[in-house]
Structure 1
C-alpha cells in the first residue's frame, strides 16, 4: 500500500497534504447520459479517457433518450417517473455495466442521484409535483428523496454482488443532486437540505469512508461554496461549477483551497469548459466558432490555472463521438477537433502537485 494511501484519512482530517508526500492531482470528466452508451461507445469513451489520464467519470440518474450531444443512445427512463417509490431501475442496471467496464480502464464513477435540471424541466415526479421551489422544503418531498437515496445505495451490482454502498472499487463519490437550487432563491433552505441529504448518504454508507460524499456544485464559483458546506460533517468534497474565466484564476481559487484545508474538506472543479465559439465563456450559446488553435490555447491555459491551485478538474464534457456543436457548446469529442489539446491538459493535470490527497479513492 502506498504511504499516501495509508495516510489519506488522517490527511483529510487535517485538510492538507504535507509537501513531503507531494500528492498528485488528477483529471476527470462528465457524461450525464453514460447509462445510454452501447458497449462500442463505452469502449471508445474509456479508451480515450484512459489515454488522457482521466480517473473519474461523473454520471447522473435522470432519464435520457434519442440523440444526445450527437450520441445515439439506448433510451432509459427516469428512476422515479410518475410516483415516488415506483422504481424504473433501468438506469441503475445500465450503470452496473458501465462502472464495471470503467474499472478495467482505471476509472471510477461519481454518481449524481438527481439533477436540478429534472426539476426545472419537470422531467420526473419531483419536477411535476414540487418544481424547483417546494422540492427543498416540502416534508413529503424530503422524505421521498431520502428513500430514493436509500434505494440507490442498496442497489446490488451483479458484477460484484455488492450494493453500491459497498462498491468502492467502482464508485469514487456520491452526491445528492447536480446544482441543487441552481438559483439559490432560498439559501438557508438549500444549506439545510444539502447537509441533510449528505447525512442520509452517510447513513447509507454505514460508516464506510471508502466512498466520498460530495455536493453537486452551483452555477459559479462563489455560489458553489456556501459557508455552511464547510461546516457540514457529512460532506467530504465540495464541488465547484464554473464557466466564467475569472473563476479559473489561480489567485481566486487559492483562498477557497486554504479554507477547505482548514475545514478538513476537499475541493474539485466538478464542471468547467472552454466555449467552442467567441461567445462569453459563461454564456456559451451562439457566437462564431473560434479558430481551433485559439480554443486549444484556452483549454490548456485555463486547465493549467485550475491545476496550479491544486484542484482536480472534471471537463464538461468529453464525448465518444464528434461534437455536433449544439447550443451551450463546451464539449470535446474524442479524436475530434481540440481533443489533442484537452488530452494534453488532462495528462498535465495528473502530473501537478495537489492541495488534497485523493489517492485513497482512486484506482
Structure 2
C-alpha cells in the first residue's frame, strides 16, 4: 500500500466523520510531495499500462463511496486508461465533472464575456445517456463580476455554477446573497467551491507566508466565514482539507475540530439549493 493511498484513506475517514460529502480532485501525475503531503511520485494516467497510484484509484474510489464521500473531478486530466469503465459510467463514485478551474483568472469581466463558451455542452455530449447522473460545473476566481456570468445562467447543459472567494468582504452573507438570488431565478444551483481562513496573518486572499495566527483567531475566522456562507443557503467545500499540518487545514491541525464542527452545522442547515439528486451513494 503506497503512502499516497494511505493518505487518501486517512482523509476519507476524517471527511466522513465531519459529515463532508465531496472531495474535489485532479488526477494528474506528480513528481514530488504536494503541500506538505508525502507522496510516491506517479505519472499522468497512462493509455496502455497502469502503475503506481493509477492501480489504486479504483480502490480509493470504492472506499470513498462506502463512506458516502463522492468525487468532483476537475477537468485537468488526460490519457485515462483505455480499459475498464469510463468515468461517465461510475456515478456511484463520481458526483460531477468541472468544466474548468478558474479558466479566466483575474482577466476581468469583459474578457470573460468575449471568450467564454458553454463548455458544459461538450462534457454533456460525452456523458450521453448517463448525463442525468452527473452534475457539470463552471468556476472562476472571485465572487463578484467574474463569478456568476449571465451566459453561465443560460447554458442549458450546466447544472451548477461554482464560485471561489477568499477576500473577507466577499465572504459576508450580504455579499453572497445576490448571487444566490440570480442563480435561483435561472433554475440551476450554486456551490461555494472554494473559500478558506488563512493560517497566517497576511491578507486572506494572498497568504502563503507570514506569522501564524493564534489558533483561537483562526478558529473564529472559520466559524464566521462558514456561518456566513451557510446563512446564505449555499452548500460549500473548503479549500482545502489535507491530512497533514500546513497552511491549509490538516486532519491533525488545531483547527480541524472547528472545521469539522461548522461542516456538521452546514449539513443540518436549510439550503437554497437541493443537490441531493446528484448523489448516488447512499446518504446517511
TM-score (norm 2): 0.88
Change (3 A) 1:253 1:76: same
The answer (yes or no) to whether the contact 1:56–1:172 under 8 Å persists in 2 is yes
Deviation of 1:76 (Å): 2.3
Residue correspondence of structure 1 range 212-291 to structure 2 within 5 A: 212-215=135-138, 217-222=139-144, 223-291=146-214
* 3-state SS of paired residue (1:239): strand
* 3-state SS of paired residue (1:281): coil
Q: Distance in 1 between matches of 2:96 and 2:250?
A: 25
Aligned position for 1:54: 20
Find 1:188's aligned residue among 90, 113, 117: 113
The answer (yes or no) to whether the contact 1:156–1:164 under 8 Å persists in 2 is no
Change (3 A) 1:37 1:313: farther
Q: Distance in 1 between matches of 2:219 and 2:147?
A: 27
Aligned position for 1:351: 268
Q: Distance in 2 between matches of 1:201 and 1:62?
A: 19
* 3-state SS of paired residue (1:209): helix
Change (3 A) 1:318 1:269: same
Unaligned runs of 5+ in 1: 1-35, 81-85, 116-147, 324-328
Aligned position for 2:231: 308
Aligned position for 2:59: 97
Question: Per residue, is there more helix in 1 or in 2?
Answer: 1
Q: Does 1:202 align with 2:202?
A: no
Aligned position for 1:140: none
Q: Distance in 2 between matches of 1:89 and 1:182?
A: 34
Q: Distance in 2 between matches of 1:279 and 1:87?
A: 46
* 3-state SS of paired residue (2:132): coil
Unaligned runs of 5+ in 2: none
* Aligned length in residues: 274
Find 2:72's aligned residue among 99, 102, 110: 110
* 3-state SS of paired residue (2:169): helix
Q: Distance in 2 between matches of 1:94 and 1:181?
A: 33
Deviation of 1:263 (Å): 0.7
Q: Distance in 1 between matches of 2:171 and 2:28?
A: 29
Q: Distance in 1 between matches of 2:265 and 2:69?
A: 17
The answer (yes or no) to whether the contact 1:310–1:354 under 8 Å persists in 2 is yes
The answer (yes or no) to whether the contact 1:257–1:267 under 8 Å persists in 2 is yes
TM-score (norm 1): 0.70
Q: Distance in 2 between matches of 1:75 and 1:62?
A: 11
Change (3 A) 1:89 1:249: farther
Change (3 A) 1:63 1:177: farther
Which digits, 9 at most, give the CA deviation of each residue in 1:213-264, with x for residues without a partner? 111x212112122221111111111010110111111111111111111111
The answer (yes or no) to whether the contact 1:77–1:88 under 8 Å persists in 2 is no
Residue correspondence of structure 1 range 113-128 to structure 2 within 5 A: 113-114=75-76
Deviation of 1:322 (Å): 2.2
Change (3 A) 1:221 1:303: same
Larger RCO: 1 or 2 (CA < 8 Å, sep 6+):
1
Change (3 A) 1:191 1:245: same
Residue correspondence of structure 1 range 163-178 to structure 2 within 5 A: 163-178=86-101
Change (3 A) 1:301 1:155: farther
Deviation of 1:349 (Å): 0.8
* Alignment root-mean-square deviation, CA: 2.3
Deviation of 1:282 (Å): 1.0
Q: Distance in 1 between matches of 2:242 and 2:112?
A: 34
The answer (yes or no) to whether the contact 2:140–2:163 under 8 Å persists in 1 is yes
The answer (yes or no) to whether the contact 1:218–1:224 under 8 Å persists in 2 is yes
Q: Distance in 2 between matches of 1:93 and 1:227?
A: 42
Change (3 A) 1:242 1:39: same
